[in-house]
Amino acid sequence: MNLNPWLLLLIPLLSSLTIWWLLSATKSAVAAWFSTVSSVACLLIVIGLNQAEELGAYAFNWIEIDNLVLSIGLMLDSTALKMMLIVTGIGTLVNLFSTIYMAKDEHAARYYASLSLFLFSMTGIVLADNFIMMFIFWELVGLSSYLLIGHWFTKDSAANAAKKAFLMNRIGDFGFLIGILLVWVMAGTFHFDQLATMLQDKPAQIASLGAITLACLFCGALGKSAQFPLHTWLADAMEGPTPVSALIHAATMVAAGIYMLFRFQLSLGHDIAEMIFHTWAGTMIAYLGAATAVIAALCALAQSDIKKILAYSTLSQLGYMVMAIGLGFKGGEAAMFHLYTHAWFKALLFLGAGAIIYRCHHQQDIWKMGGLAKRMPITALCFIIGSAALMAIPIVTSGSYSKEQILEVVHHENIILFWVAIFVASLTVFYTLRLVIVVFSGFSRNDDSSDAKEAPIAMLVPLIILAVLAIISGLPKIAKILAPAYHEHPIVFNFVFISSTIAILIGAIAAFIIYKGKQREPLYLPVLKKAFGFDFLYEVFLVRWIQRFMAGLCQVIDQFLISAVIVNGLARLTAYIGQGLRQMHRGQLALYHLLLSAGMVVLIYLFVFA
């Protein structure tokens, strides 16, 4: 029995609690280093575990009723451990980066406590050995994301964005929870390592429940990985501090949806996974992913906020992964590979953007920057390397290896989606080059960016490490060591490769022609800038009109029909009846006499004639 893996959960949890309770009064630097050291400790443990040969971990019984045990246990297979490398690796770099970025923040202790809480919950998701545990940590990740987006909670926009992110995720979790319970109905277990055996001889169950279970589970990914139609929270989540965006809303948490689906595939085993994913549910997943990829890429090319551009590009890349995983087992492997390369280069891009924002007096509008290549050369170089990886420049960047693998799978499975993916690849190059050209070339357009200096060393170190990884992490030799569920896939100069290269060229040429040397936005694209009006649709139509109308209607029914008419009405009715009966007891002898005589007449009639 090995208790070391539990330290991965304990260290960040204890660090979070310690910072929250003890260090909130001290200087933020203490909290910063405390948090950084704890994440380094986690990284070292993960590296150690990756080299260990035999792993056994203890499982706690969370609930034990009759013979049924719901446990909190760790699953330490190579996929999980390598995923942990990404989480703790980027976690450490982001912590380091934050020591500068958040140095002047009054409430930095709260920030680091939430960051540690995030590492704790994310570790829980990655190492979960069953769906219940995954769901528990899934929600806790949502909580830490809520806390971090709303870090500057006195700002209305940040508070709203935090609330929106939590609620959108809750909608997804509604489906996710049903999905988990359906897994129980279908297989009679929540444990990943028992799913395959339990389902082995139950083709009837798989046929009747497999697709709907998958669709419901996918709802969880829909929320957490911000897929269409629940995608709108991610752009707003950029209200959080930039290092948070790098860690949570680019590299790790938003990838949890893909990780969960892949974990499901993996535990079903190849054959059953193919059976379940090759249904309407799998197709739906693939198409929704593709839709997200297209919509987000289109939105990205009209944004002027540097973080929003990156946020939409994250959405678009996540859509790529979801599209791949919907197509089956091979797609799942490709998606995991892309998740891995994307994590490094997107974290790099966000941290680079953070460095730029930091040095430009918190200016985020790219049209107020410019010429930064000269003023911040190292940052610029790192950022451009990240951009190249995002554009998937063939052979030399990590992004190209993983993207190629996805395109191969999609080309093999579904030709429509393949052309969609090629289109998105072209768009990706277009909006990424736009960003690079506008920010780094030419002259500065605003005072905020004119006196920018090179970023401080504690920011540059993470950038350089990530830049190196953005180049080499795709190489088969490196990927074999670092990438989760890596399946070697050599690049072949075939049709897929050629068409994606042509797409990249088209995007690049277009971007150069349109944006080179421009002082202000040359294209007028209001629909894309407003992200197709989904926010308007949801916030005004669904929330303000439909929900408020329904709530108001219920309120009216409750207050007027149930409370006023029925309840008070019955009370009134009773009162009126009482008043009516009182009329007979007014002390008028004549009336009493009349009633008495009438009664006697009736009695005489009954006795004599009946």
Partner 1 sequence: MFIYLIIISLLAITAISFNLPAKRVSIIAAALNLLIGIQLCFFNDLAQSSVELMGLASLKDEGEFFKMGLAITSSNMGLIILTLLVTLAVFVIPELADKDAKFQTICSWLISLGCLLAFAAQDVIFFYAFHELALIPTFLMLGRYGKRAKESTAWKMMIYLAFGSLVLLAGILLLVIKAGAVSFSGLAASVAAESINYHDQVWIAGLLLLGFGTLISLFPFHSWAPHTYANSPTATSMLHAGVLKKFGLLGLWQIGIAFVPQGMAYWTPTLCVLLLGNIIFMGLVTINQRKIDDMLAHSSVMHMGYLFLALVVLIYNPSSQLAYQGFMILMVAHGLSTALLFGLSDVIKRRTGTFHFEDLGGLGKSMPKLCLLFAIATMAALGLPSLGNFTGEFLIFFSAFDTYRSSGEWTMLTTTTVISLWGIVISATYGLRSFRAVFQGASNTYLTQRMESQSIKDIKFSAWIVSIILIIALFILGISPQLFIQHFAS
Q: Which residues bind partner 1 (CB under 8 A)?
A: 61-66, 68, 132, 135-137, 139-140, 143, 150, 153-156, 159-160, 162-163, 166-167, 170-171, 173-174, 177-178, 181-182, 184-185, 188, 547-548, 550-552, 554-555, 557-558, 562-563, 566-567, 571
Burial of 259-277, coded b for 16+ CB within 10 Å and e otherwise, reads: bbbbbbbbbbeeebbebbb
Closest contact distance (angstroms) between CB of 572 and partner 1 is 12
DSSP secondary structure letters along 178-245: HHHHHHHHHHS--BHHHHHHHHTT-HHHHHHHHHHHHHHHHHHHHHHTT-TTSTHHHHHGGGS-HHHH
**Which tokens hold the place of 396?**
């030399």
Q: What are the phi and psi torsion angles at 3 (to 5°)?
A: -90, -5
Helix (H, G, I), strand (E, B) or coil at 376: coil
Closest contact distance (angstroms) between CB of 142 and partner 1 is 9
Closest contact distance (angstroms) between CB of 150 and partner 1 is 7
- Beta carbon nearer to partner 1, 177 or 511: 177
- Beta carbon nearer to partner 1, 132 or 273: 132
CA atoms of 279 and 541, how far apart (whole Å) = 33
- Beta carbon nearer to partner 1, 185 or 207: 185
- Beta carbon nearer to partner 1, 27 or 548: 548
CB burial class (10 A; 0-12, 13-18, 19+) of residue 596? exposed
- The residues, any chain, with a CB within 8 Å of residue 109's CB and separated by 6 or more, are 19, 20, 23, 24, 25, 26, 28, 31
- Beta carbon nearer to partner 1, 155 or 516: 155
Contact between residue 38 and residue 92 where contact means Cβ atoms under 8 Å apart:
no
Closest contact distance (angstroms) between CB of 336 and partner 1 is 26
Closest contact distance (angstroms) between CB of 461 and partner 1 is 34
Closest contact distance (angstroms) between CB of 124 and partner 1 is 10
- Beta carbon nearer to partner 1, 83 or 177: 177
Closest contact distance (angstroms) between CB of 160 and partner 1 is 7
Please calculate the CA angle 549-553-556 and round it to the nearest 5 degrees.
140
- Beta carbon nearer to partner 1, 6 or 33: 6
**Which tokens hold the place of 274?**
């193919």
How far, rounded to the nearest angstrom, does the alpha carbon of residue 583 sit from its chain's CA centroid? 71
Please calculate the CA angle 392-395-399 and round it to the nearest 5 degrees.
30
Closest contact distance (angstroms) between CB of 56 and partner 1 is 23
- Beta carbon nearer to partner 1, 112 or 329: 112
Contact between residue 139 and residue 173 where contact means Cβ atoms under 8 Å apart:
yes
- Beta carbon nearer to partner 1, 374 or 544: 544
Closest contact distance (angstroms) between CB of 122 and partner 1 is 14
